[in-house]
Amino acid sequence: MHISKWTSAILLSVSLLIVCTGCGDPATDLQSNYAAIVLASYEDSVSTARELDEAIDAFVAAPSAEGLEAAKTAWLAAREPYLQTEVYRFYDGPIDNPTDGPEGLLNAWPLDESHIDTIIAGTDEITAAYLEGQNETPNEDSIAVGYHAIEYLLWGADTDPNGPGNRPHTDYTDANGARMGTYLATVSDMLVGHLESLTSAWMDGMAGNYRSEFAALDSSAATEKILTGMIILSGFETGGERIQAALTSGDQEDEHSCFSDNTHRDMVQDLQGVLNVWEGSYTRTDGSVIQGG
């Protein structure tokens, strides 16, 4: 039932694009509404990532079981608004611009956990620049930074078919604990910074940023970008890459958020993002509603 709902919405959107290309004010309102929703959802992503960063800093400063649970809770909360932003991908916007888009540093997946373990066990200084250089090096699944790197550092490997990973807080007090703590704090800081760059790109009234470029697009070009994000996320990305891969392999490590077992929320919130764009409405984390600018 849900799949047909999304499919129907997208097909109707395509029909509207064909009919309304070249329309005047309605198209301008669509662009303004879309940009306002994008900005609000990235602002919420930043604020929840900052709360995650604070929880991680507190845990790293004094590792405890309670502190680890608080950081996990903050990670789960931070995922909620970010997942709704994935519909703004796939058209070379700020998130996945081929030159400097940070998507691969935010949400890259799948993740080979042995890559992170090797870095922690090594001797190279753990810095943001070093970790960024290690991301997707030497292999595509050699993910070193982003939400899923943080997820692994908090939960550990998921070896339980009936639950998430179960990393003990004492991993942060053993022989490699200091390096693991430095790693976790560093990637958390990086997450906030990359999200802040996306907020700046969509800020209203900033000359030369992406939002100003988007507002200047003709209606057909802007609508094409909006639809591209909706269609690819709801079809190929969610249905194919994220659901079908795990179903086909039967391997729980092919789940999108396998360490935390939060994959179900990934699916729900990705599609919520599509619905936000379709309805022209976004409910912020504080409960307020954005319906255009």
Neighbour count for residue 162 (Cβ, 10 Å): 5
**pLDDT at 202 (0 to 100):** 98
DSSP the chain: -HHHHHHHHHHHHHHHHHHHTT-SHHHHHHHHHHHHHHHHHHHHHHHHHHHHHHHHHHHHHS--HHHHHHHHHHHHHHHHHHHTTGGG-SSS-TTT-TTT--HHHHS--S--HHHHHHHHHS-S---HHHHHHHTT-SSTT---SSHHHHHHHHH-----TTS-----GGGGTSTTHHHHHHHHHHHHHHHHHHHHHHHHHT-TT-TTSHHHHHHHS-HHHHHHHHHHHHHHIIIIIIIIIIIIHHHHH--GGGSTTTTTT-HHHHHHHHHHHHHHHHHT-EE-TTS-EE---
CB neighbour list of residue 88: distance below 8 Å, 6 or more residues apart = 38, 95, 229, 273
274-284 pLDDT, tens per residue? 999 999 999 99
**pLDDT at 19 (0 to 100):** 39
230-265 pLDDT, tens per residue? 999 988 777 666 666 666 766 666 677 999 999 999
More confidently predicted of 27 and 266:
266
Longest dimension (CA), the chain: 65
**pLDDT at 21 (0 to 100):** 41
- Stated length of the chain: 293
Using CA atoms, how far apart are residues 292 and 82, in angstroms rounded to an integer?
Answer: 19
**pLDDT at 236 (0 to 100):** 75
Using CA atoms, how far apart are residues 168 and 145, in angstroms rounded to an integer?
Answer: 21
Using CA atoms, how far apart are residues 82 and 137, in angstroms rounded to an integer?
Answer: 25
Q: Please, are residues 147 and 77 in contact by the beta-carbon 8 Å criterion? A: no
Q: How far apart are the first and last CA of the chain?
A: 32
105-159 pLDDT, tens per residue? 999 989 999 999 999 999 999 999 999 999 999 999 999 999 999 999 999 999 8
More confidently predicted of 93 and 4:
93
**Of 5-9, 161-165, 236-240, which one has max mean pLDDT?**
161-165
